[in-house]
Chains A and B, each alone.
Chain A
Amino acid sequence: MLKFIIKRLLTLVPLLLAVSVVVFLLLRLGPNDPAMSYLRLSNIPPTDAALAEARATLGLDRPVAVQYFAWLGRALRLDFGISYVTKAPVTDHLLHYLPNTLYLAGVSILMTIGLSLPLGIMAARYQGRWPDHLSRALAYIGVSTPSFWLAFLMIMLFSVKLGWLPTRGLGGLSHVIMPAFSVALMSLCINMRLIRGNMLEQTHTRQVLYARIRGVKEGYITRGHVLKNSLIPVVTALGMHIGEILGGAVVAEVIFAWPGVGRYMVSAIFNRDFPVMQCFILMMTTIFVLCNLFTDILYAAIDPRMRLANEGSGND
């Protein structure tokens, strides 16, 4: 198991390097001129002299490869430069907001798993009857609902009409439940149908037949064989869900004035604050990659084939 983890960790390095190259190239090749933005935000008139000076300060006059390595070196030291707006180090800002985003995303993931599991199992158990049809209908609706619209509907109902929940800000359950749900709904619905489908498929396998032949109790069959085998693809799907949730959190943060990195990023886009943008994408992508690594490890932990496939004791 440890060997597996180490092997996977090593594949992270070239992956993240490739990511950094893509980010760097996209930054430099964009139509926006960082020097121009810098001057604009600093309220310095963009004369030729000022531009030249800005370029030199930002190191834009050196060859691209040199720039990349200089940039990479700084990135590895978590130095992403100074915000064009606040003139303060970007990394500090983002690290300050990051825990809030992780909190929101974390609750969303918990909601996704916590709700999709029982609903999916129920839909499989009552296949063809009304709980199954209801879950299918809900899934269609959930997958087609824009998260920002859902957020507003919830605010209108729970805040404006009923006054139960606050509309904005960081906080505990009452603050996080609406944003987290708006982010989680789509993933929840997809996961619910996935679990249902897997469970139905698993009840018709030869393994289940053999278990029945041995007179194994239905409860043991459902838990030991069907559920376990059904959840394995769900762990794989988790990686996809996390990507969507990280993206959806940005929108929720804007609507609910949640002080996370997503909201910060959106204002940085309007301000053309490039240092913030590059730190944001590298940070979020790294988190995403680490999450995928985690799901891979979880998968290997559940599925013995991943861990042991190469070992054997084949003496007959």
Chain B
Amino acid sequence: MTDTGLTGNDSLILPPLAGPGRRATARKAALALSALVLAGLIGMAIFAPLAAPYDPMEINLEERLAPISSRHWLGTDHLGRDVLSRLIWGARASMGSVVVIAGLIMATGFITGAFSGYIGGRTDSVIMRVCEAFMTFPTFILALFLIGVLGTGLTNVILAIVLTHWAWYARIIRGMVMNLKNRDFILAARVAGGGPVKIFLRHIAPPVLAQLVILASLDLGHMMLHVSGLSFLGLGIQPPTPEWGCMINDARQQIWTNPELAIIPGVMIFLTVLAFNIPGDILRDKLDPTLVERE
């Protein structure tokens, strides 16, 4: 609308704005950077034994809290362990757990939601009630409780986060399946003589899975923050295994003397989450502006 007062009486045909072009290049640059960071992190995680100069768990009290030097590129922590090596190995814990969590959430969400949506009826109602019950809890609070019940450790953190997030996905998948189930082309397939399982696998599963992958990838950053948050509290990976959240927790005592020990692992978490969020955000903008936004 001509809210700028441009009544068009400025007569001549104006050239198109420079805007869209610049946005697109910025977007491409951001995507490229994120891809680079993610590739780097995945590389770090996979090639940790080769990339890390020292054993991340090797305690060396003589060299504790050493500053940045040519021997220790990022210094050492309060137990004399090389920070850089711990950082590199920490990628394994962080990236690994996020991947596992995402996979498990997709699996449980898909199986439950698709089953519930396809079968329908009483079973569907019951499953949806269960989902609603799970969705009533604030996610982090429920995760804390689950760890309390199950115990600390990485496996339980993964389990806890999966159990707090699956219901949301199950609900959405179930909605999609129900929507597709009643479409005409499914009816046609049934008339053509396909069994219910075959129809499901061929016609319903593919688009639902595609949407699921997109939704999950939008959530990766958020999952990462939960994992490192729980580890920071000491509820996740137990020391001495390196993990970025844990490293920040360890550095609490040194905050007055060696603040960098708390800053550096945080930068890694920040960059990872940012690298997850940027492509996700761009993807969401492109696809469907009405996509439900998780927090």
Interface residues of A (CB under 8 A from B): 15, 18-19, 21-23, 26-27, 30-32, 128, 140-141, 143-149, 152-153, 155-156, 160, 186-187, 190, 194, 203-204, 208-209, 212, 218, 237, 240-244, 246-248, 250-251, 254-255, 265-266, 268-270, 272, 274, 277-278, 280-281, 284-285, 288-289
CB–CB A285/B148 < 8 A: no
8 A Cβ contacts from B127-169 to A: 129, 132-134, 136-152
**A146 touching B149, Cβ below 8 Å:** no
Q: Quick one: closest B residue to A128, CB to CB?
A: B19
Which of B138, B143, B229, B273 is within 8 Å of A288, CB to CB?
A: B138
B278→A140 contact, CB < 8 A = yes
B149 touches A26 (CB 8 A): yes
- CB-nearest residue of chain B relative to A289? B136
Assess whether B295 is in contact with A18, with CB atoms less than 8 Å apart: no
12 pairs from A and B in contact (CB 8 Å cutoff): A18-B133, A141-B274, A146-B245, A149-B263, A152-B259, A156-B263, A251-B233, A266-B234, A277-B148, A277-B149, A284-B141, A288-B138
User: Helix, strand, loop or mixed for chain B's interface?
Assistant: helix
Contacts of B19 in A (CB 8 A): 128
Interchain CB contact under 8 A, B269 and A146: yes
Contact B295 A190 (CB under 8 A): yes
Whether the Cβ atoms of A208 and B1 lie closer than 8 Å is yes
Interface residues on chain B, number (Cβ under 8 Å): 52
Interface string of B195-229 (1 = CB under 8 A from A): 00000000000000000000000000100010011
Distance between B159 CB and nearest chain A CB, rounded to angstroms: 11
CA distance A247 to B164 in the complex (A): 12
Cβ–Cβ contact B138 & A243, under 8 A: yes
With A280-B145, A281-B141 as contacts: A160 and B259 at CB distance below 8 Å:
yes
User: What's the nearest-Cβ distance from chain B to residue A138, in Å?
Assistant: 13
Q: Which residues of B contact A155 (CB under 8 A)?
A: 255
Give the contacting residue for A243; candidates B139, B245, B262, B277; CB below 8 A.
B139
